[in-house]
Amino acid sequence: MVSKLVKFNLFNKAFQATATVLDDSHSSSRLISTLALLLAMILWGSSFVAMKYAFAWFDPMVVIAGRMLVASLCFFPFIPAFTRLNLTRKHILPIVAMCFCEPCLYFIFEATALTLTTASQAGMITSMLPLLVAVNSSLFLGERISRKTITGFTIAAIGALWLSLAANVTEHAPNPALGNFLEFIAMVCATGYIILMKYLSRSLPVLFLTAMQAFIGALFFVPLLLLPMIELPQTLPLPPVLSVLYLGVFVTIGAYGLYNFGVSRVPASQATAFINLIPAVTLFFGFILLGERLTGWQMLACLLVFSGVFFSQDSAAPKMADR
């Protein structure tokens, strides 16, 4: 039992050890958090390419359920150590609500939205997430929002909107109005997830919270595969299976783990500014892996997004007491 607990602690510290060692240096801690958030955005940006490829072979619900199962299996050996955490009744409802917001509801609305509208239009709606989180962080977490942070949000959001408008439409959008509305609902769900993650990370390890997302996500999506409208695959070709494995290990565990770590170390309103990087990262991977080309306007929009995210990081923001 001791060895299992040691393994859990070592794995958990993969997200937090460096920041803990440098805890006496606020600037160093912020740098570690920034790097974690940037890496999370790179992984999330790459996930759109992996999901687009997997959706061509499997039903979207099959892909989502598969990635949750893969992530859950990776966390399974640490269940004995998780049971030793100091969980109380006050944690249960927020944990369930967090996981219900994302991945459960979020992925349902996201997957449905992308079948009705274009990725470009959905990206415009995604840029609203930082503002939603900033407002709710101020209301529910008592976080201070500086003028510098709000200005950075505005710059990044304009860049994300510009980036979406400058993209070449290549997908059919049978009902863009409904699709964009569903994408907005997905952003509302993501806001609830981020606020609850920030609250819970003050008293629970980030690794445990990431694992709970995988476990509850698997319990939620796997039974949906029994619905008659879900088309189960007759064969399992290796390339799309590898895409699902990538989504489960590197995105569901890696991206969510890194982002959850970042949210636990900096104000949630600032951490969500990084969300605006996802359209730019996705375009980059589309260029590298799918041969898609960036226009001059798109490159300028990417620069504007990066500038806004950088500017929004208010170094004078108070240190959150969540350690």
pLDDT digits (tens, 9 = 90+) for 194-214: 899 889 988 999 889 999 999
Structure tokens at 66: 């598969």
Most confident of 61-65, 134-138, 159-163: 61-65
C-alpha to C-alpha distance for 168 and 67, rounded to whole angstroms: 29
User: How much is the pLDDT for 179?
Assistant: 81
Burial category of 283 from C-beta neighbours within 10 Å (exposed 0-12, middle 13-18, buried 19 and up)? buried
Task: Please state which of the ranges 21-25, 78-82, 177-181 shows the lowest mean pLDDT.
Answer: 21-25
Helix axes 256-265, 2-21, angle to 10 degrees: 60
Question: If pLDDT is split at 50, 70 and 90, which confidence band does 190 have?
Answer: very high
Q: What is the pTM of this model?
A: 0.73
pLDDT digits (tens, 9 = 90+) for 63-111: 999 999 999 999 999 899 998 898 888 999 999 999 999 999 999 998 8
User: How much is the pLDDT for 170?
Assistant: 58
Compute CA distances 217 → 34, 101, 246, whole Å: 27, 10, 17
User: How much is the pLDDT for 173?
Assistant: 65
Nearest to 97 by CA among 212, 257, 202: 212
Structure tokens at 213: 């997302």
pLDDT digits (tens, 9 = 90+) for 299-312: 787 788 778 777 77
Number of other residues whose CB lies within 10 A of the CB of residue 94: 16
Average pLDDT, the chain: 80
Question: Is the per-residue pLDDT at 140 higher than 70?
Answer: yes
207 neighbors 253 (Cβ within 8 angstroms)? no
Nearest to 156 by CA among 280, 318, 34: 280
C-alpha to C-alpha distance for 58 and 66, rounded to whole angstroms: 10
Task: Please state which of the ranges 33-37, 92-96, 100-104, 149-153 shows the lowest mean pLDDT.
Answer: 149-153
Question: Is the per-residue pLDDT at 224 higher than 90?
Answer: yes
> Please, where are the H alpha helices in 127-175?
129-136, 147-166
C-alpha to C-alpha distance for 118 and 161, rounded to whole angstroms: 14
Dump the DSSP string for 239-277: HHHHHHHHIIIIIIIIIHHHHHHHHHHS-HHHHGGGGGH
User: How much is the pLDDT for 7?
Assistant: 46
pLDDT digits (tens, 9 = 90+) for 274-288: 887 877 777 777 777
Percent of the chain clearing pLDDT 90 (strictly above): 32
Dump the DSSP string for 43-66: HHHHHHHHHHHHHTTS-HHHHHHH
